[in-house]
Amino acid sequence: MNQGINRGGLRERKARVKLLMSAVLDFEQELLDALKTDLDKAEAEATLQEIYPLKKEAQHTIANLDRWMAKRYASTPLALTGTRHYVKAEPKGRVLIISPWNYPVMLTLKPLIGALAAGNCVVVKPSEHTPTVAGVIKKLLESVFTEDIVKVELGGAEVAAKLSSSLFNHINFTGGTNIGRLVMKSAAEHLCSVTLELGGKSPTIIDKSANLKNAALKIAWGKYMNAGQVCIAPDHLLIEKSIAAEFTTALLSRITTMYGEKPIESKDLGKIVNATHYNRILGLIKDAVAKGATLHVPGGVLEMGEDRCKISPCILTGCTLEMAVMQEEIFGPVLPILTWETREEAVAIIHRNPYPLALYIFSSKSKYINWFIENTQSGSTAINEVVIQVANSDLPFGGMQSSGMGRSGGKEDFDSFSNLRSFAVQTLPFSFLPLTFPPFNALGLTFSRFARKWL
């Protein structure tokens, strides 16, 4: 048995997932308090976006685990008569989960559900940028698992680098693209498989046929939740020029509806994780304004200083591709708007930052929707919706190229943490195969020609 494998049967694996969720419920208030401390997350938002998804993922995994663990039979070609073929999911062994700070509870424990369900031993490295949450996660996991099943490693970039260069059978990393490259490079030294959930600039296309009220409602929610620190949030808008002014007005109105006349003071608006990211986002805004963009800030107050790390939900109009805000992932409550007159113009802008983690299309015309789908690529796509694609455990989630590698969620997580071992088993004393063995006599030659033509 490979070092680190703690296979366990169906009952034992289900028990581990249930233990994990029991601990989450026991520590729920501590987790919510920690999220308030580290990110100033409102309790309702934290409950719905951090705790609730774990509950649904655990329920989905427990309900389907017997099927995922069962032999997956394959059909037998006629030429292989006398044999049976199937795939059996086996644990990969010792796996590493490196999680981010923007959803530090959900994005740490959700992949852990899949890793435990697959029968692995797991090392978990929470983000150092949300230290209060990381401390609670360590206490939570140590309350129900011994270190030979789940071990938690705390620390900064040096700890993550050391772990990712160690001998693991699989690494699950969620974070920025540049760090993802380093993780993959380290994993390559041991030929370790990886799942990379990265980011990028997720565009949102709006054409003149779209329901603008619906679009404003969905986009404002998806963009400004968690203070814009969401990997699949709409990063920028590509709006058909004739409706740009009308939609901008609708979006500003929706921001006020969600966060009040002075959004910067809203208890429902979270903070930027730290001063470094806070100043980076302000720098993007200042660069855009200096290059000709117009800043729209409902309530008139943009930010509250490094001690509070709060930035108001805001919009930038008149943006160009030369602005820094259009060249790097924003990861904050700032929404740049560009306009287009032909669909080809919109797609050309998207191709400047290829392979987004998510792409959103708002239109009421199927032919336009299909055209945009056929002429773009992305990890996931939502039509007249945003963000919700990540909430379905039956829907594989992930990116491509610079936005990620592999898929997660439900069975995809289970399979990612499993070695899908193929089996071929003799079932009858007779088969056609010996007819293909040397020496190649007349009968063998006849059979080979028959098989090539008919089998």
Catalytic entry in 50, 121, 192, 231: 231
Residue 445: how many other CB atoms lie within 10 Å:
11
Q: In what order do the strands lie in the sheet with 72-74?
A: 72-74, 83-91, 418-426
**DSSP string for 144-201:** T--TTTEEE----HHHHHHHHTS--SEEEEES-HHHHHHHHHHHHTTT-EEEEE----
- Strands 94-98 and 170-174, sheet pairing: parallel
> How far is the C-alpha of 322 from the C-alpha of 410, rounded, in Å?
40
Residue whose C-alpha is closest to residue 123's, from 104, 158, 156, 98: 98
Cβ atoms of 303 and 312 within 8 Å: the answer is yes
- Alpha helix stretches (DSSP H) within 165-319: 177-188, 212-224, 244-259, 275-290
**231 catalytic per annotation:** yes
Query: Environment class of residue 121 by beta-carbon count within 10 Å: exposed (0-12), middle (13-18) or buried (19+)?
Result: buried
Give the angle 401-53-148 at the CA atoms, nearest 5°.
Answer: 80
* Residue 377 CB contacts under 8 Å (≥ 6 apart), including other chains: 354, 355, 400
- Give me the amino acid identity at 378: S
Query: Does the active-site annotation cover 246?
Result: no
What whole-number distance in Å separates Cα of residue 391 and Cα of residue 388? 5
CA 381 to chain centre: 13
Q: Going by C-beta distance under 8 Å and a sequence separation of 6 or more, which residues neighbour residue 97? A: 108, 111, 112, 115, 122, 123, 124, 125, 171, 172
Q: What's the DSSP call for residue 408?
A: B
Query: Which residue of the set 50, 57, 197, 303 is catalytic?
Result: 197
Contact present, 217 and 251 (Cβ < 8 Å):
no
- Residue type (1 letter), 2: N
370 vs 347: CA distance, rounded Å: 13
Residues involved in catalysis: 197, 231
